[in-house]
Amino acid sequence: DQQVKQNSPSLSVQEGRISILNCDYTNSMFDYFLWYKKYPAEGPTFLISISSIKDKNEDGRFTVFLNKSAKHLSLHIVPSQPGDSAVYFCAATGNTGKLIFGQGTTLQVKP
Amino acid sequence: DSGVTQTPKHLITATGQRVTLRCSPRSGDLSVYWYQQSLDQGLQFLIQYYNGEERAKGNILERFSAQQFPDLHSELNLSSLELGDSALYFCASSAQGRYFGEQFFGPGTRLTVL
């Protein structure tokens, strides 16, 4: 049972444009959501998070939007840069403290 | 550099064997988490330890076990290895037992079972 889903395995955008990565979840008990970025041969690194009491959180070029009624969150990267090319994982957690990850979306930003 | 170290970086072994993966958390972090990433799969949570005690369990097989030592480093033991156990194994750490913020991941151990 995939509680966190990233339905797009890959995304390609032009440098300077907006990248939008999407994530859906099924468990209404999740109350904290995160995005991680992963480069090849490295472990995931934390990017940005959002609590379920908010619908938006912004950090520089990265903004995460949460739509609880739709059980959907998205990560916007504006403007996209070639160094943003990586695998992006969406993750969610609830009162158990366990992080449940999606399968990842590979973002390629073309110069 | 996340401050989390994992050894070895690569491990190649045969089916039926037993291996031990080691993780040292960031200085001061009490929680250690283990994850498995198989080909084309997301990160699957295996188990969490907090200050030496098991805190949460995920989809960890009975052939796998873990422990956290008094110095807070952790080991993941994988036994009776099968081809399907080939994967990247990540360790992560955080300060709290209950997750409030981000976990910091190590670089992973790539296990290949032949």
Show residues of chain B in contact with A41, CB under 8 Å: 107
Does pLDDT of A95 surpass 80? no
Answer whether A103 sits within 8 Å of B108, measured CB to CB.
no
Does pLDDT of A23 surpass 90? yes
> Tens digits of per-residue pLDDT, A30-68?
999 999 999 988 899 999 999 999 999 999 999 999 999
Show residues of chain B in contact with A93, CB under 8 Å: 99
Average pLDDT over residues B76-83: 97
Does pLDDT of A4 surpass 70? yes
CA distance A30 to B63: 29
Residue B97 is predicted with a pLDDT of: 56
A23, A100 Cβ separation under 8 angstroms: no
Residue B79 is predicted with a pLDDT of: 97
Chain B's closest residue to A36, CA to CA, is B102
Does pLDDT of B59 surpass 90? no
Kindly report the average pLDDT of chain A as a whole number.
Answer: 93
Half-sphere exposure at residue B54, Cβ-oriented, CA atoms within 13 angstroms: 11
Chain A's closest residue to B47, CA to CA, is A98
Average pLDDT over residues A76-103: 91
B101 pLDDT band, cuts 50/70/90, is low
Residue B100 is predicted with a pLDDT of: 52
> Tens digits of per-residue pLDDT, B8-27?
999 999 999 999 999 999 99
More confident residue, B98 or B37: B37
Answer whether B99 sits within 8 Å of A93, measured CB to CB.
yes
Chain B's closest residue to A34, CA to CA, is B102
Residue B40 is predicted with a pLDDT of: 67
Does pLDDT of B102 surpass 80? no
CA distance B101 to A50: 10
CB pairs A-B closer than 8 Å: 62
Distance from CA of B71 to the nearest CA of A (A): 23
Half-sphere exposure at residue B106, Cβ-oriented, CA atoms within 13 angstroms: 29
Average pLDDT over residues A58-82: 97
A86-90, B41-45, B88-92, range with the lowest pLDDT: B41-45
B49 pLDDT band, cuts 50/70/90, is very high
Identify the DSSP state of A82. Answer: G
Residue A50 is predicted with a pLDDT of: 94
Answer whether B90 sits within 8 Å of A43, measured CB to CB.
yes
Q: Which residue has the tokens 């995460």?
A: A64
